[in-house]
Amino acid sequence: MLQNVTTTPARRALEFGIYRDGDNNLDAIQESTLSQALQTSRTDSRIEFTVQDTTSLRPDGDGVEHGTLHTAQYTIADGNVAGVHVGKAHDMSDEQNLARFVAQTLDDAQAAGAKQTWIDLVDHGGGDGGGLETRDGDVMPMPKIADAIADGVAMHAQEHPEDSGRTVDGVVANQCLMDTMGFADALSHAGVKYLAASPETMLAPGVPSNVAHAIAAHQDDPKAMGKAIVNDVMRTKYDAGGFGNFGPAAAFDVLDLDPAKMTRAKEAIKRLNDAAAASAPEAHGAIREDARGIDGMVRFPEATKDMPWRADRPAIAFYDTLAGDTRLDGDLRSDAKAAADAVRSLVLAHRESASFEPFDGADYSDAAGPTVHVPTTRGEIDPWASDGVSETDNEFYRDVDEDAMTRVVA
């Protein structure tokens, strides 16, 4: 942590923390997020990056042998790298480590006089089942990520009570499948205001670090900020050599995690789930057909059918389908419309890909907004729970009685 932080005149608009876990097969390709940060800092002095990078890359130096897994910590601003410290590799799936990084980023934000603080999680994803994992298989699941962010905010406030109002304004999930109602709800409880994430598969390097510019340029206009972030992601093209260019995301959203909006969405979803469970058997059959008519996420042919995220379905599309099904009674359809509208109110900006290589042919037009876990077969109900990967062991799933809907559709 920074010691004896003193207030400085506001100079930076944004402190952007990059928490990059390179302890896996994405180490080399996702390192470009750091060169993107350096380039962005050269053209936008309003941004400072706080970086924690666990990697096996870079040559000998700082007492680390080439190819050895290690953690580098530093800041990037004005095209310069400063405060470099290289040491033993951190366990990036450890909740306490993420909390310390969040606290450090907030410390740096205070020192820089930054107006906002965002955290970029760079790793493999996994939705509610896990979003930060290490080579040995340890996973920090969604609820723990949110807990770690809240703990880091508390650590900063305790060490710097004069800056106790500072929090994490937004989270960028540079990972697959992290645009879920469960993650959004958990982050909202942690005081996070925005989530930028994809409901679908992402291709590394993923979210370009220049989204920091979109955030810094639109801090007083959330809708413009969300649109700029989504446009930056969906317009990015990476060069795959002989394979041509590819975009990082099949679909991407920015969500507004306002607590009142989240409460309305949860109440509406719970009301629908309970009504569906209490409906007549013939209604159960119609609801089941509607759910099975909507593709689950991970929409590429090489994915094995037992991948748990195939049970994650776009919430708005599911609820809209129920709302338009005349086989259901009016009250149930009204509940479904209210749930769809409440979830839709969370979406500040969205775009989907019309042709997402290499998974061309998949339709992402319904992937507007977050997903919910809606398994349509018994085998899709937490298929990897025995291996420690659970999409249902979270507060959102319990609060909205999602198991009631599961009993109807599966």
Q: Which residues contact 277 (CB under 8 A, 6 or more apart)?
A: 401, 404, 405, 407, 408
Q: Is the pLDDT of residue 338 over 90?
A: yes
CA–CA gap between residue 316 and residue 328 (Å, rounded): 18
**What pLDDT is attached to residue 64?**
63
pLDDT level of residue 184 (50, 70, 90 thresholds) = very high
**Measured over all CA atoms, what is the biggest interatomic distance in the chain, rounded to whole angstroms?**
70
Q: What share of the chain is helix, strand, coil (3-state, %, to 5)?
A: 40, 20, 40
pLDDT at 3: 36
Return the pLDDT at 137: 75
Instruction: Give the confidence band of 305 by pLDDT, cuts at 50, 70, 90.
Output: low
Which is more confident, 7 or 381?
Answer: 381
Q: Identify the band that residue 6 occupies on the pLDDT scale cut at 50, 70 and 90.
A: very low
Strand 80-88 relative to strand 116-122: parallel, antiparallel, unpaired?
unpaired
For the segment 250-270, the average pLDDT, to the nearest whole number, is 98
What does pLDDT average to over the chain? Answer: 92
Tokens of 312: 């994650």
> Which pLDDT belongs to residue 39?
96
Does the pLDDT of residue 8 top 60, yes or no?
no
Strand partners, 389: none
**Given this model, what pLDDT does residue 62 score?**
62
pLDDT tens digits, 354-392 = 878 667 778 999 999 999 999 999 988 988 888 888 999
Stretch 255-264: mean pLDDT: 98
> pLDDT-based confidence at 300, cuts 50/70/90?
confident
Can you give the pLDDT at residue 240? Answer: 67
CB count in 10 Å sphere of residue 312 = 29
pLDDT digits (tens, 9 = 90+) for 118-164: 999 999 988 888 888 777 778 899 999 999 999 999 999 999 999 99
Please report, for the chain, the start and end positions of each structural domain, with discontinuous segments joined by +: 14-258, 261-346+371-409
> What pLDDT, on a 0 to 100 scale, did the predictor assign at position 9?
40
Fold of 14-258: Rossmann fold (3.40.50)
Q: What is the mean pLDDT of residues 245-274?
A: 96
Q: Which has the higher per-residue pLDDT, 20 or 68?
A: 20
Q: CB under 8 Å to 23, separation ≥6 — which residues?
A: 54, 55, 56, 69, 89, 92, 134, 135
Within a 13 Å sphere around the CA of 299, how many CA atoms are in the beta-carbon half? 26
| Residue 6 and residue 160 in contact, taking contact as beta carbons nearer than 8 Å | no
What would the mean pLDDT of 184-199 be, rounded to a whole number? Answer: 98
User: Is the pLDDT confidence value at 59 over 90?
Assistant: no
